[in-house]
Structure 1
Amino acid sequence: MVTRDLLARHRRGRKTPFGLTARSVDVLRDGPDRIWRAGGRGQPSDPARRGGRQA
């Protein structure tokens, strides 16, 4: 999930806690709108927002 820019590593010695990135916050905020707008079925993500990868 780090490579997909959804989690950020915060290295502190031997421990590495993870936190949300700005992109993951956007995804979480956008989620309810996408779910309810689609009648319970989410639409495929925009490839541009996923780093240009095709579904």
Structure 2
Amino acid sequence: MDGTEHPPDHGHAGHQAGHGPGEGLPWGPLVGILIVVGLFFYSLFSIIQSG
């Protein structure tokens, strides 16, 4: 069983090295979702105001 398991510290270190200061938090997807939602509401409000 031990041979098939990946070392958790190795996978975590590689994951954090690629991400940066967001300690274990998925800042990439969260920021992307926030930007998409913000653009959606911005376009929605602009359509409401112009219409």
Q: Normalised by the size of structure 2, how large is the TM-score?
A: 0.31
Higher strand share: 1
TM-score by length of 1: 0.30
Greater share of residues in helix: 2
Query: Larger radius of gyration, structure 1 or 2?
Result: 2
Report which structure shows greater RCO (CA 8 Å, sep ≥6). 1
